[in-house]
Amino acid sequence: MRQSKLFGKTRREVSKEEKSINAELLIRAGFIEKHIAGVYNYLPLGLKVFRKVENIIREEMNAIEGQEMLMTALQPKELWEKTGRWSEMADIMYQFEDGHGSEVGLATTHEEVVTTLAKQQIKSYKDLPVYVYQIQDKFRNEKRAKSGLLRGREFSMKDLYSFHADQNDLDQYYQKAHDAYLKIFKRLGLEAFSVEASGGSMSKQYSHEFMVKTVAGEDITILCDKCSWAQNKEIFQLKNGDKCPECGTKLAEAKTVEAGNIFRLGTKYSEALGLQYTAEDGKMKDVLMGSYGIGLGRIMGTIVEANHDRDGIIWTKATSPYQIHLLNLAKDDKSKAEKLYLELQAAGIEVLYDDREISFAKKFKDADLIGVCLQVIVSDKNEKLELIERENKKIKLVEKKDLLSEIKKYYS
RNA sequence: CGGGGUGUGGCGCAGUUGGCUAGCGCGCGUCGUUUGGGACGAUGAGGCCGGAGGUUCGAGUCCUCUCACCCCGACCA
């Protein structure tokens, strides 16, 4: 991509009202633009990152046999009344009357819809287990949208739903999904750990939240430095001097972002909506369910919160919008950079090429702000290319013929 | 939803006890000089001062209402 043509310009400053680091950096660097409170547009650069996050999640969901589908956001009141959540979620759900006088709402989540769909698809124990998921926008009228992408009112979420014949099968899959989640965070370059949490309005059975440590977090997690034991403060009251139940080390508190969560729903929704199957013995039984969510925007915001310095964003290898940021510093002759750009593209490298006619200083500043993992500089000064790692600003002189392998080595 | 705050060119801001043609920085256009960490000079374009109503000879400025946004709290899959 030629930066001179990029739809999304960097900005030197952002409103002092924008207090959250992730929003400030993402807006300044041209990834997102705020539309209204808690609702953001993704510009081309932002969508690049979004797609990378999305694809990793998709791959891991497919790996645990999730089948991707797409459900509607617009839903009728009647459906939500069956589970009692029309009034229960009235505060947070956008509910309104359409032009025909019918009451409808925008989905905050999809248990109601997916369970209804499952009634048409699941008839027998032979149809179980089955897993479906979607990546789709959710709407929640948060009383206070805040923290940039961390708490939006319209946001994209991956939600997986599993259907099982018995508790044992649910438990097994729950564990599988749990491990898949840890894998997702690891691939994304986020240090996440799971904690037990209460099911909230979702379920009576316990659930797990996936936490990433960052000061921007809204949750408090009690954790052990030594072993991996951790628990949400909601369900663990820390008394001074409390020791880790696993290894006896003193426990500490940390602010965390809840980047994902998984629930054992049991029969809550299947009972309410009448989702049953015929068992082997011919009897009708309730289907057991699980649901598993990850907010994509929240992950993007979390990555920025966890990976930035005073110059800007530092994307993780898996989420860098481009593999390399090519900066042309040669004064008169642009042909060297132009040629390199075309060659890299031809070799299948994702390259952002700063071909703008501006001062070198500005190119450096913008590149650091945007945060592509690798920068490469073409100049008159050096015959060789300068390859810079964004994270530590380490400079390495490389021959042009070695650049491709250096890039591949870095991302391998 | 309670408390506090902010709305002025694309972005960030200033605007005195009401006063004349609403300023500044950044960005943008043109010309020239520059070029290894946000260059400089010249010149130019761009404003229903969030919205509605009111007070006044006169309102960005005062009053009422309203909308939006931010922060703290409460709330929260």
Cα gap A410→A400, rounded to integer Å: 16
Q: Find and list the nucleotides of strand B having atoms within 7 Å of a protein beta carbon.
A: 1-2, 5-6, 11-13, 25-27, 34-39, 68-77
Instruction: State the DSSP H helix or E strand holding residue A304, giving kind and residue range, or none if neither.
Output: helix A296-306
CA A6 to C1' B32 (Å) is 28
Q: How confident is the model at residue A120 (pLDDT cuts 50, 70, 90)?
A: very high
Within this chain, do residues A374 and A238 fall inside the same structural domain, yes or no?
no
CA A75 to C1' B70 (Å) is 32
pLDDT single digits (tens) A196-252: 876 555 545 678 899 988 888 888 888 887 887 887 777 777 666 778 888 888 888
Identify the CA nearest to A400 among candidates A346, A354, A339: A339
Q: What is the residue-averaged pLDDT of chain A?
A: 92
Sheet holding A74-76, edge to edge: A74-76, A103-106, A95-97
Give, as one character, the DSSP assignment of residue A239: P
A109 CA: nearest nucleotide by C1': B77
Q: How confident is the model at residue A2 (pLDDT cuts 50, 70, 90)?
A: very high
Q: How confident is the model at residue A77 (pLDDT cuts 50, 70, 90)?
A: very high
pLDDT single digits (tens) A58-75: 999 999 999 999 999 999
Protein residue with the closest CA to the C1' atom of nucleotide B72:
A144
Q: How confident is the model at residue A255 (pLDDT cuts 50, 70, 90)?
A: confident
pLDDT single digits (tens) A348-376: 999 999 999 999 999 999 999 999 999 99
**Looking at the domain assignment, is residue A317 inside a domain?**
no
Q: Tell me: pLDDT of A288 over 90.
A: yes
Task: Show which of A248, A280, A309 is a domain's final residue.
Answer: A309
CA A152 to C1' B71 (Å) is 17
Q: Say which range, A81-85, A244-248, A365-369, A392-396, has the weakest mean pLDDT.
A: A244-248
Contact between A406 and A347 under an 8 Å Cβ cutoff? The reply is: no
Within this chain, do residues A80 and A209 fall inside the same structural domain, yes or no?
yes
Cα gap A245→A242, rounded to integer Å: 9
Mean pLDDT of A266-279: 96
Share of chain A above pLDDT 90, in %: 74
Within this chain, do residues A326 and A282 fall inside the same structural domain, yes or no?
no
Contact between A96 and A103 under an 8 Å Cβ cutoff? The reply is: yes
Token pair recorded at residue A84: 């009692």
CA A357 to C1' B38 (Å) is 14
**Looking at the domain assignment, is residue A161 inside a domain?**
yes
Cα-Cα end-to-end distance for chain A: 23
A85 CA: nearest nucleotide by C1': B77
Q: Where are the beta strands (DSSP E) in A267-379?
A: 276-278, 284-286, 288-295, 308-309, 312-313, 324-328, 351-354, 374-378
pLDDT at A239: 66
Within this chain, do residues A200 and A348 fall inside the same structural domain, yes or no?
no
Identify the CA nearest to A4 among candidates A286, A358, A291: A358
Q: Which residues contact A313 (CB under 8 A, 6 or more apart)?
A: A25, A26, A29, A304, A307, A369, A370, A371
CA A329 to C1' B36 (Å) is 8
Q: Which residue has the tokens 């013929």?
A: A401
Mean pLDDT of A24-30: 94
Within this chain, do residues A304 and A402 fall inside the same structural domain, yes or no?
no
**Looking at the domain assignment, is residue A314 inside a domain?**
no
pLDDT single digits (tens) A136-176: 999 999 888 888 999 999 999 999 999 999 999 999 999 99
pLDDT at A393: 95
What DSSP string runs through A173-226? HHHHHHHHHHHHHHHHT--EEEEEE--TTS-SS-EEEEEEE-TT-SEEEEEESS
Protein residue with the closest CA to the C1' atom of nucleotide B75:
A143
Within this chain, do residues A264 and A344 fall inside the same structural domain, yes or no?
no
Q: Where are the beta strands (DSSP E) in A248-319?
A: 251-266, 276-278, 284-286, 288-295, 308-309, 312-313
ipTM: 0.93
Angle value at C-alpha A211, between A206 and A216, nearest 5 degrees? 130
Q: What is the CATH number of the domain that holds A278?
A: 3.30.930.10
A188 by Cβ neighbours in 10 Å (0-12 / 13-18 / 19+) ranks as buried
**Buried/exposed A112-143: b ≥16 CB within 10 Å, e otherwise:** bbbbbbbeeebeebeebbbbbbbbbebbbbee
Q: pTM for this one?
A: 0.95
Q: What is the CATH number of the domain that holds A389?
A: 3.40.50.800
CA A361 to C1' B40 (Å) is 15
Q: Which residue has the tokens 């049953």?
A: A276
**Looking at the domain assignment, is residue A205 inside a domain?**
yes
A198 CA: nearest nucleotide by C1': B77
Q: How far is CA A42 from the centre of its chain?
A: 14
Q: How confident is the model at residue A16 (pLDDT cuts 50, 70, 90)?
A: confident
A143 CA: nearest nucleotide by C1': B75
**Looking at the domain assignment, is residue A107 inside a domain?**
yes
Token pair recorded at residue A44: 């081309």
Cα gap A196→A264, rounded to integer Å: 12
Instruction: State the DSSP H helix or E strand holding residue A87, giving kind and residue range, or none if neither.
Output: helix A85-88
Q: Tell me: pLDDT of A395 over 80.
A: yes
Instruction: State the DSSP H helix or E strand holding residue A104, giving kind and residue range, or none if neither.
Output: strand A103-106
**Higher pLDDT among residues A188 and A255, named by residue:** A188
| Number of structural domains found in chain A | 2
pLDDT at A205: 67
Contact between A299 and A319 under an 8 Å Cβ cutoff? The reply is: no
Contact between A330 and A289 under an 8 Å Cβ cutoff? The reply is: no
Domain that holds residue A237: 3-309
CA A229 to C1' B66 (Å) is 52
Task: Show which of A309, A333, A359 is a domain's final residue.
Answer: A309
